[in-house]
Structure 1
Amino acid sequence: MSLATSAEAASRLAPRLGMKSSPSTLLRCQKTNPLPQPSSHTKIGIDDFAFRRGQTYGTIIVDLETHKIVDLLPDRSKETAKAWLCIHPEIEVISRDRASNYSDAAREAAPQALQVADRFHLVKNIRGKIKDVLDRNRSCLPLVKNPATSPTILSQENPPEESSGTESEAHPQEKEVHEAQEQSFTPSGEDPASPGLLTISEQRRQLNRDKRYALYEKVKDLRKQGLSHYAIADTLDISRPTVRRFLEAEQFPERVNSPKTKQKSGVVTPYLSFLSERWLAGCHNGRLLFREAKARGYSGSRAQLERVTTEWRKYLPPSLTAKQKKSPPVATPPPKNQQLSPQQASWLFVIDKLQLTAEQQWQIEQCCRINEELAKAYLLSQNFTEMLRERKADDLKEWLQRARESQIPELEGFAKSLQQDYSAIYAACSQPWSQGQVEGHVNRLKCLKRQLYGRAKFDLLRHKVLQAI
């Protein structure tokens, strides 16, 4: 009974069955039960799972033929996996992700076994490389048109290429893309550092800074057009504090690599007496109260102060809370035509083109038509996913050669990493085995750990898993 549920639940259910036992007693009985005798397994899947995410991990081993958990290991080190594989020389197939610990352990302890890389992780890897390429060429990404304002984009009878008029009139968004492509995102007039001289982390930081600077410029431009803070935040789909921070800064606010300062607790408390005095005097304007408190040294935000005045406002008579005058007219924000993000576009590059909508196909066409590097990256990514999907293992060597000669640094590095694990990648393109059921058992482990109510040490968790029916 305690194996099917937790010990706590079993102890509550036991009296109904004519028994009475504490959770600890049930756990001791569960630990004394002998574990099932190990049997031979020829095809296994191996992966890690988290005891505490980001801190401690273990290893799960699943029989790919019976779909049952074979064993749990206390960590995910190479030595532990190697020791387990050494006592199972009958293994013929090992399905794994691209972690080096498991690949090295399998190569040294089970040289007779065929290693199969997981196809999902391979698609995830190439999508990450494509995202890096798109980050470098984000100025070439098209605008995501609002269907309510541009129905012709989604119309198959009138595609963008066949629309009448001049090119600039038919594609105003394309003109903006070309203009953005000619301009540098670097705020200073100096050329950015060469990618070859920067580390991967430094390149990512530079790309993120460029994206923040482009967003900073958009906020400033919309403010010049007369839009309010709320309208700018809604148009660019960002938070109002970000808009306020950009507008208050005279220059682009750089991020400082320092520990985050803790928020001051009770920042409104020193000003409660002043606020209550002004409130009782008849001043119920939140903005005015914020400005007066600011003049007296208040360092918090207006939202923090308004949390207090909102509670006070509930006790005002209805006549005092009703608006006595119309609000002043505000500028109407332009349609929300945002640029396609590299994160969104990277998925479009790896998904089968037959599954894309008409608008998504148009976005891909714009990317490939404007930038030759993106067109080459899209073709390589589509060929790679098709090779995995249709098991075209014979095309792998040719694809690796094309990727190495593509002159795209991200894909060249990806091809180099695949070449180092060529046999497992070739097996992924030809064998039916994958990590799908292993990932499913990892999710099941999360449920089992929660059933143990914080007592899920490794020995108890292993007994729970291996004795489960």
Structure 2
Amino acid sequence: MHALLDQGVGLLECARRLGWALNTVKRYARAAAAEELQRPPRYRETLVDPFRDHLRRRLAENPSVAVTRLLSEVREQGYTGSANLFVRYLNQGRAQAERTPPSPRRLVAWLMTPPDNLPAHHRSHLDDLLAACPHLTILARRVREFASLLTGRRGQDLDAWMAAVDADDLPALHGFVHGLRMDLPAVAAGLTLPYSNGPIEGANTKVKLLKRQMYGRAGFALLRQRILLA
């Protein structure tokens, strides 16, 4: 891939010659070495994950500690899984492996979720990330403050929140605030009043569903009758 790029061949031509998808060609072009394309294995969450820090600390102190001893320790701390799951977790090296950074989408999901609703290991991972990045710490604070405005219907505090965001070094959030100011009265009303356009949107969705169901099958009269009955 890089040999073709060194010859001045474009990405589209590389994709044509190699028979690869363009996105694959772009990903290979961005990588300076093949090792950068290697990704750690992705495992599903298990019942052992909440005790990962304890296992890592114990294995660092005594690498030859017996598995049965570790199992009894985590059971005392509340582990309810099977012994087979625990042994497989250790054999895969997941206790010693460093935490892999979450994807941007997963990190956004963690930030948008109330901390009390996050599993303990996710909350711990998020706290470590926030402590390592001051900008991310401020972003998480602003997101939670806005969520409090939204759920508590505190539209009167919106101006103070936007002023605080303007003082932060968060250009992306500045764009969000700029969009709010373009229709500020409607935003303030939505954060204050109990009314919602949800029923209207639901009726629109139902009409569109009926229209799709009857496309090519019947005329307007029957469609009108179904809408009225619905």
Q: TM-score, normalised by structure 2?
A: 0.55
Taking the TM superposition and a 5 Å limit, the aligned residue runs for 1:54-73 are none
Shift of 1:347: 1.8
Give the aligned residue type for 1:370.
A
Alignment CA distance shift 1:443-1:397 (3 Å): same
Taking the TM superposition and a 5 Å limit, the aligned residue runs for 1:39-58 are none
Match among 132, 137, 140 for residue 375 of structure 1: 137
**Count of aligned residue pairs for this structure pair:** 157
Contact kept in structure 2, 1:387 and 1:393, CA below 8 Å: yes
Give the aligned residue type for 2:103.
S
Measure, in 1, the Cα distance between the counterparts of 2:176 and 2:116: 25
Measure, in 2, the Cα distance between the counterparts of 1:361 and 1:214: 36
Corresponding residue of 2:165? 403
Alignment CA distance shift 1:385-1:467 (3 Å): same
Corresponding residue of 1:221? 35
Taking the TM superposition and a 5 Å limit, the aligned residue runs for 1:13-52 are none
Give the aligned residue type for 1:449.
K
Contact kept in structure 2, 1:393 and 1:426, CA below 8 Å: yes
In the alignment, structure 1 residue 468 sits paired with structure 2 residue 229: yes
Contact kept in structure 2, 1:391 and 1:429, CA below 8 Å: yes
**Could you list the per-position Cα deviations for residues 413-447 of structure 1 after superposition, in whole angstroms to 9, with x for gaps in the alignment?**
11111012111111111111224333433442343
Shift of 1:217: 6.7
Shift of 1:465: 5.6
Taking the TM superposition and a 5 Å limit, the aligned residue runs for 1:186-335 are 212=27, 216=31, 220-221=34-35, 235=41, 335=94
Corresponding residue of 2:182? 420
Alignment CA distance shift 1:449-1:354 (3 Å): same
Taking the TM superposition and a 5 Å limit, the aligned residue runs for 1:118-129 are none
> Max radius of gyration: which structure?
1
Measure, in 2, the Cα distance between the counterparts of 1:454 and 1:233: 49
Measure, in 1, the Cα distance between the counterparts of 2:40 and 2:204: 39
**Could you list the per-position Cα deviations for residues 55-98 of structure 1 after superposition, in whole angstroms to 9, with x for gaps in the alignment?**
xxxxxxxxxxxxxxxxxxxxxxxxxxxxxxxxxxxxxxxxxxxx
> CA-atom RMSD, angstroms?
3.7
Contact kept in structure 1, 2:214 and 2:223, CA below 8 Å: no
Give the aligned residue type for 1:392.
R
Alignment CA distance shift 1:436-1:215 (3 Å): farther
Alignment CA distance shift 1:456-1:217 (3 Å): farther
Contact kept in structure 1, 2:149 and 2:158, CA below 8 Å: yes
Alignment CA distance shift 1:382-1:468 (3 Å): same
Shift of 1:412: 0.7
Measure, in 1, the Cα distance between the counterparts of 2:198 and 2:171: 31
Measure, in 1, the Cα distance between the counterparts of 2:163 and 2:205: 38
Alignment CA distance shift 1:448-1:423 (3 Å): same
Give the aligned residue type for 1:358.
A
Identity %: 25
Measure, in 2, the Cα distance between the counterparts of 1:364 and 1:214: 32
Corresponding residue of 2:115? 353
Contact kept in structure 2, 1:449 and 1:461, CA below 8 Å: no
The DSSP-based 3-state class of the residue aligned with 2:168 is coil
Alignment CA distance shift 1:334-1:417 (3 Å): same
Contact kept in structure 2, 1:235 and 1:334, CA below 8 Å: no
Measure, in 2, the Cα distance between the counterparts of 1:339 and 1:386: 27
More strand by share: 1
**Could you list the per-position Cα deviations for residues 9-30 of structure 1 after superposition, in whole angstroms to 9, with x for gaps in the alignment?**
xxxxxxxxxxxxxxxxxxxxxx
Give the aligned residue type for 1:221.
E
Corresponding residue of 2:147? 385
Give the aligned residue type for 1:346.
V
Give the aligned residue type for 2:140.
Y
Alignment CA distance shift 1:359-1:217 (3 Å): farther
Match among 432, 435, 440 for residue 202 of structure 2: 440
Unpaired runs of 5+ residues, structure 1, are 1-207, 224-231, 238-331
More helix by share: 2
Identify the structure with bigger relative contact order (alpha carbons < 8 Å, sequence gap 6+). Answer: 1
